[in-house]
Amino acid sequence: MGSSLRAKIMSGVLALLVLFASALAVTLYLIRDSSMELMGIEQYHLRLYKMVSDLDVYTFELEIIAHELNGIPPPPREHAQKRKARAYELKQIIDQIFSEAIPLAEKGSEDDRNDIEDRLGMAKLIGSLRTLEVGTRGFVDAAIRSIDGAVEGKSTEARRSLEEMAKFEDLDPVYTRIRTKTANLTSDSLAETNQNIQHIIRSNLALFLAAGILGLLVFLVITGRLQTAFRRLTAAFRKTAEGEIADPLPVTSKDEIGDLTASFNTMVEQLKSKERLREAFGQFLDPRIVANVVDSATGQLKEVAERRKVTIFFSDIANFSGIGEQLTAANLVHLLNRYFTASTEAIRAHQGIVDKFIGDAVMAFWASPFSQGESHALDGCHACLDLRDSFARISREISEITGLRRNVPRFLVRMALATGDTVIGTVGSDTTKSFTVIGDTVNIASRLEGVNKIYGTTILINEECYRLAENSIEAREIDLVTVFGKIEPVRIFELQGRQGSLDPKTSKLNNVYADALQLYREQKWKEAEGAFRECLKIHEHDGPSLEFLTRIATFARTPPPKDWNGVWQTSSK
């Protein structure tokens, strides 16, 4: 059957090739005819039209020069000499045009590329050009004599020649008539060429229609032959479509049907592999992880572990225990679901991976290949800013979500980002695994989330995260702290918005706060206190400023040690 099918296809192809070769031959013949006509138009019609137009322009310029040089007062001698030189140049140009135009018209009247009407038109044009030549040469000679007389100071002879020029005023209608003739010749030839092009188009459409009908016939023959062969596969496809994966079919031939059977068997194997993939996927929170931990060839889990620079996220609902005491179990779950849904949507929208939910806390991370290059920090910042808006909406709807009408709890979520080197990979037992991140950066992110309580902030990021994203975000440095369980200090920043989103009041607050922080680190307590109070005038409830005023009051009574470096030891776990 394979060779028969191939023969049918080859027959159809050969028929189409013959048809298209015929179409090409006819098209080339018609195009050649039109091309010859266009060449004739370019060589004769357009050139003659241009020559006549140039003659009109040059004779007019010559007339202007003659009147200019015979004007009162006469022009300066140097200018007159230049104009005289131009006049003689124009005379040469006019002589050259006539020496070319008449032979060109004679040649055009004999050229077979022009049709009978064009050749007759060219023949008639020869006489008109000769008449025009006689008149034009008389006009030019009179103009040259007038110009010579004007330059040589022979005003009487010059004016007599100028009056002689006026006798040739009847040249203008001749020029107009000849231009009209050449324009009509060109227009008629172009119209004829356009008709030929339309004929080419109609011929091609007819040939393509015939090719389409032939192609349809070939298609009907081939599909009729294939219908019987497909019946064996139909049942297997239907069985697979109903959800029951069929067993591979034996490949009994090496023709097209054999290839289709082999493709069906490959599809069955892929479906089985995807089933294994779905089983593996059940061990992870985000389906994108599967591409990194599942071998595409075997469907088996790969052991993945490597050190990368990663951005870690933690969030936590403030006073969640107190909120939980006010709500029923159903309402509490409803609130958590809203919170977790908003978190997951924003994190995934910015290429993040939700690692786990820990009570009311969310842990997530950004790393390649999910984020491109070092964009993981910026992706994390954008996700936090979107989450801040989402949590604000939840806060406005907290009464409807919890069902409380009185003593409605305040819904506030604290967030933190930390960027640093982290081990990322699969961790777990033989039966349950997790693709997660491990290391000090995870601990720092977790601690920074709690540090928000100290400063009354909602989003804190570490210095490395700020460094990678600073060109696209707005943030202010808050403090230099050591978090619980760490010795190395961490410079922390409050994430405030996207680049250029701050209002003038907040920008002013950031500038004053930066000055106050520097005074604090220099132990200039009085000046620092004044600066932080200035911050409170700008923003009455600025949490970091309130925190530093409390510290300054303590340091005023009990100064820090002499080797104090401005680092604040936090106790938040």
**pLDDT the model gives residue 283:** 47
**pLDDT the model gives residue 210:** 74
DSSP string across 169-233: TTHHHHHHHHHHHHHHHHHHHHHHHHHHHHHHHHHHHHHHHHHHHHHHHHHHHHHHHHHHHHHHH
Q: Kindly state the tokens that stand for 497.
A: 């918005």
How far apart, in Å, are the Cα atoms of 326 and each of 357, 394, 404? 22, 17, 9
Question: In terms of Cα–Cα distance, which of 507, 506, 472, 476 is closest to 492?
Answer: 476
**pLDDT the model gives residue 425:** 82
DSSP-derived secondary structure letter, 332: H
Regions of the chain short of the pLDDT cut 50:
1-2, 282-283
**pLDDT the model gives residue 300:** 56
Domains 41-190 and 306-502 share a fold: no
Work out the number of other CB atoms within 10 angstroms of the CB of residue 268.
Answer: 17
- At 563 the three-state DSSP class reads coil
CA distance 373 to 119: 74
In terms of Cβ atoms closer than 10 Å to its own Cβ (0-12, 13-18, 19+), residue 570 is buried
Q: Which residue has the tokens 């005074």?
A: 519
DSSP string across 137-185: HHHHHHHHHHHHHHHTT-HHHHHHHHHHHGGGTTHHHHHHHHHHHHHHH
Question: In terms of Cα–Cα distance, which of 92, 181, 101, 167 is closest to 135?
Answer: 167
Q: Kindly state the tokens that stand for 47.
A: 């050139």
71: left (phi over 0), alpha (psi -120 to 50) or beta: beta
Per-residue three-class SS string for 398-431: HHHHHCCCCCCCCCCEEEEEEEEEEEEEEEECCC
- The CATH T-level fold of domain 306-502 is Alpha-Beta Plaits (3.30.70)
CA distance 290 to 277: 8
CATH class of the region 41-190:
mainly alpha
**pLDDT the model gives residue 220:** 67
- At 371 the three-state DSSP class reads coil
> What is the amino acid identity at position 367?
A
Domain definitions of the chain by residue range: 41-190, 257-302, 306-502, 503-573
> What is the amino acid identity at position 14?
L
**pLDDT the model gives residue 448:** 95
Angle between helices 171-241 and 116-151 (to 10 degrees): 130
CA distance 177 to 131: 12
CA distance 99 to 102: 6
